[in-house]
Amino acid sequence: MRKLKEFIIEKLILVCGLASIFFVVLIFLFLLKEGLSVFKSISLPDFLFGKNWYPISDPPQLGILPLILGSLLVTVGAAAISIPLGVGAAIYIAEIAPAKSKEVLKAGIELLAAIPSVVLGFIGMVTLVPWVKNIFHLPTGLTALSGSIMLAFMATPTIVSIAEDALYSVPKTYKEGAFALGATHWQTIYRVLLPAASSGILAAVMLGIGRVIGETMAVMMITGNSAIIPNSILQPVRTLTATIAAEMGEAVVGSEHYFALFAIGIVLFVISFAVNVTADLFLHKRK
């Protein structure tokens, strides 16, 4: 009787494990099947490097270069803000903050991670967007810069908590050794602790960026959504994610536009997969 129970439970757990893989494979296959259909009417280079995204003109123009550049610009901007901020905060929490404020800070960072992106987008819309508009004297504050700043808020908690973890797990003997040779606290941090934790910090950065690339709601609300090739961070842009979210509802099922949106999904999937694998490589190197 007991054996039978063990057997059933074991198999149930096995089914749960297999199901998760099964669904991932199904989703991926569906994405491929729908997405690849677009290449019956447009070549891969024309799709990736085409400069015009007019999906409902006749014939439709399905170049996603403006969208890729939009995503890239917002991501690079967010990275430029969140990496120094996040790594700096991680160093402060791991090394400098007194034990008491450390706990408060860590809790605060986790709370920041818990803010839903639509709320961040909303806050950005009513506070940041008018601010950007007035400071730079722009016709609109809905720009790549606004998106970068809001997304930096989303990437920072990930970067801080993983980088802090990496710094904290550097053996204490390194620190002792550096102090014993007469290094100051800051010299110890940048000459010993940062290099020792470098792979963990890189992983933190990659995971933070991964979060930014996949983010949809906040960017859709504050980047302006115009599918043109941006030549400055102060212009409206449209990202890959926002395009799918905004247009999927109105695309006719089975049309080229519909297939193109799925193909954008594949592009996004490939990018996030690459970022996550890179992060994973760094994390494993650490161990």
Partner 1 sequence: MAKIKVNNLNLWYGSFQALKGVYANFAEKKITAIIGPSGCGKSTMLRVFNRMNDLIEGVRTSGEIIIDNLNVLGEETDLVALRKKVGIVFQRPNPFPLSVYENIVFGIRVHEQPRKKAELNGIVEESLKSVLLWDELKDKLKMPALHLSLEQKQRLCIARLIAVKPDVVLMDEPCSTLDPQATARIEELMRELRKNYTIIIVTHNMQQAARVSDDTGFMLLGELVEFGATHEIFTAPKDKRTEDYITGRYG
Q: Which of residues 47-86 bind partner 1 (CB under 8 A)?
A: none
- Residue (168 or 174) nearer to partner 1, CB: 174
- Residue (69 or 193) nearer to partner 1, CB: 193
Torsion on CA atoms 31, 67, 127, 248, rounded to nearest 10? -40
The residue range among 20-28, 68-76, 127-135, 191-199 that interacts with partner 1, by the rule CB under 8 A, is: 191-199
Q: Alpha helix locations (H) across the chain? A: 2-36, 44-49, 65-91, 99-113, 117-123, 129-135, 144-168, 172-180, 185-188, 194-196, 198-214, 217-222, 240-247, 256-286
Distances, alpha carbon 285 to alpha carbons 203, 273, 282, in Å: 10, 18, 5
SS3 224: strand
**Residue 177 sits in the site that holds partner 1 (CB under 8 A):** yes
**Residue 131 sits in the site that holds partner 1 (CB under 8 A):** no
- Choose which of 159, 178, 204, 275 interacts with partner 1 (CB under 8 A): 178
- Choose which of 43, 101, 169, 187 interacts with partner 1 (CB under 8 A): 187
Residue 137 falls in which region: left (phi positive, over 0), alpha (psi -120 to 50) or beta: left
Min dist CB 203 to partner 1, Å, is 16
- The DSSP letter of residue 235 is S
Half-sphere exposure (Cβ direction) of 203: Cα atoms closer than 13 Å: 21
Beta bridge partners of 224: 237
Min dist CB 187 to partner 1, Å, is 5
Min dist CB 287 to partner 1, Å, is 14
**Residue 195 sits in the site that holds partner 1 (CB under 8 A):** yes
**Residue 189 sits in the site that holds partner 1 (CB under 8 A):** no
- Choose which of 135, 181, 270, 274 interacts with partner 1 (CB under 8 A): 181
- The candidate with the shortest Cα–Cα distance to 108, out of 153, 138, 45, is 153
Min dist CB 188 to partner 1, Å, is 8
**Residue 88 sits in the site that holds partner 1 (CB under 8 A):** no
**Residue 10 sits in the site that holds partner 1 (CB under 8 A):** no
